[in-house]
């Protein structure tokens, strides 16, 4: 399918470099450019691109305002162009609806800018499978009633995950009667600002998991980028054991590793939730959750940006319920409030 892409960036060099780069990728038919958010907003509504590449720091209208205004107006996924010195801004953009990000090389006339071609081509290959989150609330698809109320909820996500996780966590009360652990495919430099922002805007405590820290009710632990989150039981306490990424690991943190470890420790008192993302990470771990008597929920296609991860759970017959992202938050509140 020939693709139309809109590049929104106030740097003339960036626009020219990205245009040349994008046109060298098979499947890209047309590349339009805009000099700021105002120009980009007008063009996005006029040409209806298949993908938008968005800079954040721009005059007249920045990328954050663009994301707020464009929501619901067009269907193109937005990929943010950023650098590590703007990691906090990148985390904010992902929560505002950007589906992914690319780390932008230094803005200088050199071949360094073309180092992102491989990663950019991967994102473009996912465009046919992407959809913006629309917040649809659907009737629950329930296969079996939960056997027990959960002591712990383990959540896994990838592309589109920051927005989905933020939607769920911000809806939770401070006195939730369960612990929540999350593995999200995100690099180390972006995990910390994401967690800090989420904690500042949530009633429940949110923090990055550390090796040896306690897993406790009324708190959310998010695995640090580049490490796997697993668990140990010591007496009546439950602790995190971080494992470093191996050379053969495709994802770190791995949802499969977290699910498998949690299933062994909590058994039927565990609920696993698989959110939006590309690939099948979480499917094997979800099978172990079921084998140990736990409960599994998959996000619905209608609210997923990328349905691959939830679809893998549903297709394998593992999921007990299929819920929209809004309903998942409601489910957690409903089930865990019974423990008070």
Domain limits, CATH 3.40.50.2300, in the chain:
3-129
pLDDT in tens, 19-52: 999 999 999 989 999 999 999 999 999 999 999 9
Domain limits, CATH 3.40.50.180, in the chain:
141-339
Candidate list 14, 158, 260, 261, residue with the active-site label: 158
Quickly tell me which residue has 């297709």 as its tokens.
315
Helices within the chain (DSSP H only)? 12-23, 37-47, 63-70, 87-95, 117-126, 161-169, 188-200, 255-266, 283-291, 308-315, 325-336
Q: What are phi and psi of 170, to 5 degrees?
A: -70, -15
Distance CA 110, CA 113 (A): 7
pLDDT at 249: 84
Q: Pick 3-129's CATH classification: 3.40.50.2300, 3.40.30.10, 3.30.300.130, 3.40.50.740.
A: 3.40.50.2300
What rounded mean pLDDT belongs to the chain? 89
**281 noted as active-site residue:** yes
pLDDT at 269 over 50: yes
pLDDT in tens, 194-220: 999 999 999 999 999 999 999 999 999
pLDDT at 338: 47
Cis, bond preceding 338 (omega within 30 deg of 0): no
**185 noted as active-site residue:** yes
Single pTM value for the model? 0.86
Candidate list 166, 281, 303, 304, residue with the active-site label: 281
Distance CA 227, CA 208 (A): 11
DSSP string, 59-118: SSS-HHHHHHHHTTT----EEEEE-GGGHHHHHHHHHTT--EEEEPPPSSSSGGGGGGHH
pLDDT class of 111 with cuts at 50, 70, 90: low
pLDDT at 178: 95
Candidate list 36, 166, 185, 319, residue with the active-site label: 185
Quote the CATH superfamily of domain 141-339.
Methylesterase CheB, C-terminal domain (3.40.50.180)
pLDDT in tens, 55-73: 998 999 999 999 999 988 8
């Amino acid at each position: 399918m020939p693709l139309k892409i809109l590049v929104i960036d106030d740097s003339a060099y960036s626009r020219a470099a990205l245009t040349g780069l994008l046109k060298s990728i098979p499947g890209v038919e047309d590349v339009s450019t805009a000099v700021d958010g105002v120009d980009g907003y007008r063009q996005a509504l006029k040409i209806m691109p298949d993908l938008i590449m968005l800079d954040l720091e721009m005059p007249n209208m920045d990328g954050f305002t663009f994301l707020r205004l464009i929501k619901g107006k067009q269907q193109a996924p937005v990929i943010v162009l950023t650098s590590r010195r703007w990691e906090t801004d990148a985390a904010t953009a992902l929560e505002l609806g950007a589906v992914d990000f690319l780390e932008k090389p230094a803005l200088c006339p050199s071949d360094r800018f073309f180092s992102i071609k491989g990663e950019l081509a991967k994102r473009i290959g996912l465009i046919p499978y992407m959809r913006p989150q629309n917040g649809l609330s659907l009737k629950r698809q329930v296969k079996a009633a939960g056997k027990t109320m959960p002591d712990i909820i383990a959540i896994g996500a990838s592309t589109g995950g920051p927005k989905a996780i933020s939607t769920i966590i911000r809806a939770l009360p401070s006195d939730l009667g369960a612990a929540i652990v999350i593995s999200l495919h995100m690099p180390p430099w972006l995990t910390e600002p994401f967690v800090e922002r989420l904690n500042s805007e949530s009633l429940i405590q949110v923090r990055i998991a550390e090796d040896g820290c306690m897993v406790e009710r009324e708190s959310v632990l998010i695995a640090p980028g580049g490490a796997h989150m697993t668990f140990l039981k010591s007496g009546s306490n439950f602790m995190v054991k971080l494992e470093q990424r191996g050379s053969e690991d495709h994802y770190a943190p791995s949802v499969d590793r977290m699910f498998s470890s949690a299933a062994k420790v909590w058994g039927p008192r565990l609920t696993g939730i698989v959110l939006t993302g590309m690939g099948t990470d979480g499917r094997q771990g979800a099978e172990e959750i079921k084998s140990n008597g736990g409960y599994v929920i998959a996000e619905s296609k209608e609210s997923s940006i990328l349905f691959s991860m939830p679809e893998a759970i549903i297709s394998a017959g593992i999921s007990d319920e299929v819920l929209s992202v809004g309903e998942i938050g409601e489910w957690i509140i409903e089930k865990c409030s019974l423990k008070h």
